[in-house]
Structures are given as C-alpha cells and as structure tokens.
Copies of this chain bind each other. A is one copy, B any other.
Amino acid sequence: MAQLTLVFHALTDPTRRAVVERLRGGPVATTELAARFDMALPSFLQHLGVLQKCGLVRSSKKGRVRTYELSTAPLKAAEDWMATQRLLWARRLDQLDTFLNELKEPPE
C-alpha cells in the first residue's frame, strides 16, 4: 500500500513523468538528463530523489559519472492495481447486463 502511495505521488509531477519518458529509451547520465530540463540542478536532483525513493529509477556510479535507469516493477504494480479495479467493475457491469436481459426475457 505504502509503495503505491509513493509511486502515484512520484507520478503526479509532470517533470518526473518526463524523466520516466526520457529513461524509457535507456540509461542516461545525470548531466545529460538534467540538460533536457530547464530547471536548477538542486531542484532537478530532488525530483530524481523522489523517483529513486519509490523505486521507479535506480542509479549507479562509475568514476565520477552517475547514471540513471528505469526500473519498471513499480510501474507494473501500479498498473496491475488499476487494471484490477477496472476489470472487476467491467465484470460487474456485464453481470448487471445479463440480469437485466433475464428480467426482460426470463430463461425457459
């Protein structure tokens, strides 16, 4: 539950969603990533911190270069939660539909 809260919170911000969209193309070094965003570096690093805390991105350091990459398990978990609600609701609608049709034409 807490994980879902963090993931949805991370994705409320357009900059953080844009970072996710950028990283879907593969790992990117901090400076290259930051260059795409018109924002002070400390603010940008805070956004990366939020994404990292909820597990949506991970980073590794080689020499002086830190690289970020997408980690898709939390996306999948959030997708699964949403799909569950949506599909159970669709099933409920189908059941209601069947019930209403049976009221009109009772099965023999």
What residues make up the interface of A, taking CB atoms closer than 8 Å to B? 1, 4-5, 8-9, 11-14, 17, 20-21, 23-26, 70, 72, 75-76, 78-79, 81-86, 88-90, 92, 96
Q: Which residue of B13, B72, B79 contacts A90 across the interface (Cβ within 8 Å)?
A: B72
A86 proximity list for chain B (CB < 8 A): 24, 72, 75-76, 79
Number of copies: 2
A1 proximity list for chain B (CB < 8 A): 14, 17
A92 proximity list for chain B (CB < 8 A): 24-26
What's the nearest-Cβ distance from chain B to residue A74, in Å? 9
Say whether A14 contacts B5, CB under 8 Å. Answer: yes
Task: Kindly report which residue of chain B lies nearest to residue A26, judged by CB atoms.
Answer: B92
What's the nearest-Cβ distance from chain B to residue A89, in Å? 4
Q: Which residue of B9, B79, B83, B85 contacts A20 across the interface (Cβ within 8 Å)?
A: B85
| Cα distance, A13 to B84, chains bound together (Å) | 17
